[in-house]
């Protein structure tokens, strides 16, 4: 297993990109959160960034998911065709689609790859390729 810390900064950190961890295991890659400026850090610092299988969004604060539209735009520019799972709290499909529309207008209708939205709930266990994910309610 390999882990890249593409972003470790908090919401207003002027020196570090927002939270963004890439985890690789079994030849697959999962991204944990993708804050405001984290997409650029991921694309710059992780080898073969297009190999991403899934993105897991912990919650809908900008410093945890506002970088996702630019990441998806880059994948569209690269003409990605492989599906991408986006896992997050209830409403993840609506929220991510709205963010893409706000950031890049008609991007959701132009994507060359399917987005597979998965709503996570407390107590849920999910297997995404070689990754086993467990979810708990926020305190």
Average pLDDT along the chain, 139 residues, taken 10 residues at a time = 89 83 93 92 92 95 94 96 96 97 94 96 89 84
Rounded distance between C-alpha atoms, residue 110 and residue 62, angstroms: 23
How remote is the C-alpha of 84 from its chain's centroid?
Answer: 9
48: three-class secondary structure by DSSP: coil
Closest by Cα among 134, 108, 137, 112 to 122: 137
Query: Of 49, 63, 66, 75, which one is the catalytic site residue?
Result: 63
Q: State the burial class of residue 67 (Cβ atoms within 10 Å of its Cβ: 0-12, 13-18, 19+).
A: buried
pTM: 0.92
Helices (H), the chain: 38-45, 62-65, 68-77, 92-104, 107-110
Q: How many CB atoms lie within 10 A of CB 68?
A: 24
The per-residue pLDDT for 139 is 66
Tell me, yes or no, if 63 is annotated catalytic. yes
The per-residue pLDDT for 14 is 80
CB-CB contact of 22 with 6 (8 Å): yes
Structural tokens at position 56: 């897991």
How remote is the C-alpha of 135 from its chain's centroid?
Answer: 16
Instruction: Give 7's strand partners.
Output: 20
């Amino acid at each position: 297993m390999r882990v890249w810390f593409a972003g470790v900064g908090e919401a207003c950190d002027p020196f570090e990109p927002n939270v963004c961890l890439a985890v690789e295991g079994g030849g697959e890659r999962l991204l944990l959160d993708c804050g405001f400026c984290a997409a650029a850090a991921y694309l710059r610092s992780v080898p073969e960034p297009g190999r991403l299988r899934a993105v897991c969004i912990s919650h809908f604060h900008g410093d945890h998911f506002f970088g996702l539209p630019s990441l998806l735009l880059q994948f569209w520019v690269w003409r990605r065709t492989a599906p991408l799972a986006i896992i997050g709290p209830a409403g993840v499909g609506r929220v991510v689609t709205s963010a893409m529309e706000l950031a890049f207008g008609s991007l959701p209708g132009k994507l060359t790859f399917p987005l597979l939205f998965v709503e996570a709930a407390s107590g849920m266990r999910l297997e995404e390729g070689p990754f086993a994910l467990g979810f708990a309610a926020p305190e």
